[in-house]
């Protein structure tokens, strides 16, 4: 296949590339010499990231408006990268939402399912279609899943989010085992508290509170995560597969403790009402009336 855009290192798909961590990963991989399918459910966000890349003189991008929870969308995003850059080299499953929140006694099962659809099924679909592409190409490839320190411990996020991220860490291991004979590596990155819009709190005040939320004096940034992704997809990480690299400023050395979320102004487990946050997708957060949370 003749590539439409010549690149030094082939194509990468980055999901959730319209904002925060995914945007930083997309820009970093472009600087590293990959062509990037900028994949996000929010079309304005896709255009913003492509515009930022262009401002840096990075033009090896293709827009891929896609919902990672929809298999046909994920397939289309992978196909776009292969068509545009002739080969897929890297898949980064990063798209995320805050998801279902509230006390466990009030959790609405549909919110749980919607959370897992994005955070777990989305990673499965990205892994499935990237692995198929690598196998068809008869070439090695790398899949990086963005999990979370919340996948290792309680008290860092809401129930559904933490359980979903633990599932991502597990899926990373099992996919790595199956794909290793084909020289396809699968690794995860598990960030701690990173200053992005996901919590809807990317303010100076929130940044100051994050500065003291973990042992490291200062808050985590999207570039801290992107740098690790850049390493994981490179040759120096050639013997790394099936593991998760924790990028948390030492947070998991002691664990978050019972009051960490309250101290930074986020406390989903202690909210009396249950609901679901769709993060920065543009879909509004839903909080259920108390009478609804015992149904379904």
Ligand X SMILES: NC(=O)c1ccc[n+]([C@@H]2O[C@H](COP(=O)([O-])OP(=O)(O)OC[C@H]3O[C@@H](n4cnc5c(N)ncnc54)[C@H](O)[C@@H]3O)[C@@H](O)[C@H]2O)c1
Candidate ranges 34-42, 55-63, 106-114, 262-270; the one touching ligand X (CB under 6 A): 34-42
Please confirm, yes or no, whether 121 is among the known catalytic residues. Answer: no
- Binding residue for ligand X (CB under 6 A) from 33, 109, 140, 197? 197
- Binding residue for ligand X (CB under 6 A) from 16, 102, 141, 268? 16
Residue 133 and residue 17: Cα distance in Å, rounded?
A: 20
Beta-strand ranges (E) seen in the chain are: 11-15, 35-40, 61-65, 88-93, 99-101, 141-146, 184-191, 244-247, 275-277, 286-287
Q: What 3-state class would DSSP assign to 254?
A: helix
**The two three-digit tokens of residue 119, written as one number:** 């955070």
Q: How far is the CB of 58 from ligand X (least distance, A)?
A: 18
Residues 98-127 that bind ligand X (CB under 6 A): 118, 122
Query: Which residue, 46 or 131, is less far from ligand X as judged by CB?
Result: 46
Residue 286 and residue 105: Cα distance in Å, rounded?
A: 17
Query: Which residue, 200 or 242, is less far from ligand X as judged by CB?
Result: 200
What string of DSSP letters covers 3-57?
-SS--SS-EEEEETTTSHHHHHHHHHHHHTT-EEEEEES-HHHHHHHHHHHHHTT
Q: How far is the CB of 235 from ligand X (least distance, A)?
A: 25
Please confirm, yes or no, whether 161 is among the known catalytic residues. Answer: yes
* Annotated catalytic residue, options 121, 152, 165, 206: 165
Query: Which residue, 11 or 192, is less far from ligand X as judged by CB?
Result: 192
Report if residue 279 touches ligand X, rule: CB under 6 A: yes
Distances (CA, A) of 259 to 155, 220, 268: 8, 19, 12
Report if residue 194 touches ligand X, rule: CB under 6 A: yes
Q: How far is the CB of 289 from ligand X (least distance, A)?
A: 25
- If you search the block for the tokens 């296949």, which residue do you land on? 1
* Annotated catalytic residue, options 128, 161, 270, 278: 161
Count CB neighbours of 138 within 10 A.
Answer: 7
Catalytic residues: 161, 165
Residues that bind ligand X (CB under 6 A): 15-16, 18-22, 40-42, 45, 66-69, 94-97, 118, 122, 146, 148, 191, 193-194, 196-198, 279-281
């Amino acid at each position: 296949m003749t590539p439409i855009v010549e690149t030094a290192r082939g194509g990468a798909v980055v999901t959730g590339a319209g904002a925060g961590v995914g945007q930083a990963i997309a820009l970093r991989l472009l600087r590293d010499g990959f062509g990037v399918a900028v994949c996000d459910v929010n079309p304005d966000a896709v255009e913003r990231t492509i515009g930022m890349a262009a401002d840096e003189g990075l033009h090896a991008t293709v827009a891929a408006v896609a919902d990672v929870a929809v298999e046909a969308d994920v397939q289309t995003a992978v196909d776009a990268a292969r068509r545009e850059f002739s080969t897929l080299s890297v898949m980064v499953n990063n798209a995320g939402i805050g998801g279902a929140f509230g006390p466990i006694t009030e959790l609405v099962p549909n919110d749980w399912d919607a959370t897992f659809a994005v955070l777990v099924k989305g990673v499965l679909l990205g892994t499935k279609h990237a692995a198929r592409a690598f196998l068809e190409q008869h070439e090695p490839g790398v899949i990086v899943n963005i999990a979370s320190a919340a996948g290792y411990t309680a008290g860092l996020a809401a129930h559904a989010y933490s359980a979903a991220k633990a599932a991502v860490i597990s899926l990373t291991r099992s996919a790595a085992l199956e794909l290793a004979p084909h020289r396809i590596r699968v690794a995860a990155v598990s960030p701690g508290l990173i200053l992005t819009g996901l919590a809807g709190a990317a303010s100076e005040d929130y940044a100051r509170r994050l500065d003291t939320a973990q042992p490291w004096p200062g808050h985590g940034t999207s570039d801290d995560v992107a740098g690790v992704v850049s390493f994981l997809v490179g040759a120096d990480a050639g013997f790394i597969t099936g593991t998760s690299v924790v990028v948390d400023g030492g947070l998991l050395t002691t664990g978050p403790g019972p009051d960490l979320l309250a101290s930074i102004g986020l406390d989903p487990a202690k909210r009396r009402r249950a609901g679901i946050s769709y993060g920065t997708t543009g879909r509004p957060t839903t909080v259920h009336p108390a009478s609804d949370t015992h149904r379904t």
